[in-house]
Chains A and B, each alone.
Chain A
């Protein structure tokens, strides 16, 4: 079973709709992240959370909100989707600290806003 899962894997929606993307992890990591990836731009950080009570904005948080329902769950919402939010969205986790604090990614959600 995958350590980091995302649902849905693909979603097509219309402008103005509210969308929620969900992420769950079984790695026991405290830290969770949401990124979006656009061609040629690499991964850009939307929000991150270091524990259940901690939520922080990333570099492109406008138009998005998040909820950390539990250590293992971190959801991303688009309150009113717009076409330029069409992208590939990744959830990631990492350990709190340590030498090997690499990130582990979910399989991604491909979102299309028409």
Chain B
């Protein structure tokens, strides 16, 4: 079983739409959680960390549900520039502080 699983998509949405991605993780020892954004053929870049209480950054909201071991990302008022692949990442300190990556969810925002 993969440590982190995501729906690969693609999610095709019109500009202005609200879209949500979910990600599940298998190891209950996971301590830190992140969403990264990756543009085609570029490096992943941190979009936001995910905190237990949930957190918001502009149009982006991240939620963590430890009991069900899933993380979500909500994007409101989608822009064309949001088109990218979104990677869910977890960190397990007691497993040599390794990071585990989902394979990514592709988002296409259409005019």
Name A's B-contacting residues (CB within 8 A). Answer: 31, 33, 35, 40-43, 45, 48, 50, 56, 58, 88, 90, 92, 94, 97, 99-108, 110
Pairwise interchain contact B103-A41, C-beta atoms closer than 8 A: yes
B-side contacts of A101, CB under 8 Å: 32, 91, 97
Would you mind naming 10 contact pairs between A and B with Cβ atoms under 8 Å apart? Answer: A42-B102, A43-B44, A48-B96, A88-B41, A100-B49, A101-B97, A103-B89, A105-B43, A105-B44, A108-B43
Count, chain B residues at interface, CB 8 A: 22
Interface residue from A99, A100, A103 paired with B99 (Cβ < 8 Å): A103
Given A42-B102, A48-B98, A101-B32, 4 new contacts (CB under 8 A): A42-B101, A56-B96, A103-B99, A108-B43
The distance from the CB of A51 to the nearest CB of chain B, in whole angstroms, is 12
| Distance, CA A48 to CA B49, complexed state (A) | 22
Measured CB to CB, the closest approach of chain A to B76, in angstroms, equals: 23
Measured CA separation A105–B43 after assembly (Å): 6
A97 to B101, CA, bound (A): 19
Chain B residues whose C-beta falls within 8 Å of the C-beta of A58 in the assembled complex: 98
B79 vs chain A, min Cβ distance (A): 23
Q: From A59, which residue of chain B is reached at the shortest CB distance?
A: B98
> Nearest CB to that of A41 among chain B residues?
B103
Taken together as a complex, chains A and B put the C-alpha atoms of A94 and B55 apart, in Å, by 22
CB-CB under 8 A from A106, the residues of chain B are 43
Give, as a whole number of angstroms, the nearest-CB distance from B51 to chain A. Answer: 9
- A33 shortest CB reach to chain B, Å: 8
Indicate if the CB atoms of A42 and B98 lie closer than 8 Å.
Answer: no
Contact in complex: A107, B99 (CB < 8 Å): no
For B93, list chain A residues within 8 Å (CB): 97
Chain B residues whose C-beta falls within 8 Å of the C-beta of A103 in the assembled complex: 46, 89, 99
Residue in chain B with minimal CB distance to A107: B43
User: Is there contact, CB below 8 Å, between A102 and B49?
Assistant: yes
A102 and B46: CB pair below 8 A? Answer: yes
A50 to B42, CA, bound (A): 25
B8 at interface by CB-CB < 8 Å: yes
